Amino acid sequence: MPHDRPPVCWNVGHKDGRIRHQLLANNRYDEALGERESAYQGRYQVTGNYIEYWDDTGFTADGEFIDGVLYHAGMVLYRKE
């Protein structure tokens, strides 16, 4: 029987919806790009307002939460319900 996916702590996305991140409760993330679900996956860590990403292919990135908005890699990602 497949394992249930951990609960989503945060859903964030670009205004146009083409880039979407799910920050999961187990400190993993799932990033979708356009029609491509799970385009990138990896782990993340939040320290204060700062977030660091380590994708499973070795790519790293970071970002900052300001007033509930995530500024990440030149993008502005808004919380989605």
CATH code of the domain in which 38 resides = 2.40.128.290
Give pLDDT tens digits for 20-64. 999 999 999 999 999 999 999 999 999 999 999 999 999 999 999
Whether the pLDDT of residue 2 is over 70: the answer is: no
Domain of residue 70, residue span: 8-46+56-80
If one counts the domains in the chain, the total is 1
Instruction: Report the amino acid identity of residue 22.
Output: Q
Q: Is residue 51 part of a domain?
A: no
Residue 3, domain member (yes or no): no
1 is a domain residue: no
Q: Is the pLDDT of residue 3 over 60?
A: no
Does some domain include residue 70? yes
Q: What radius of gyration, in Å, describes the C-alpha atoms of the chain?
A: 12
Task: For residues 56 and 2, give the distance between their C-alpha atoms in angstroms, rounded to a whole number.
Answer: 21
Cα 35–chain centre separation: 16
Identify the band that residue 68 occupies on the pLDDT scale cut at 50, 70 and 90. Answer: confident
Flag whether 2 is in a domain.
no
Least Cα distance to 64 among 72, 54, 75, 56 occurs for 72
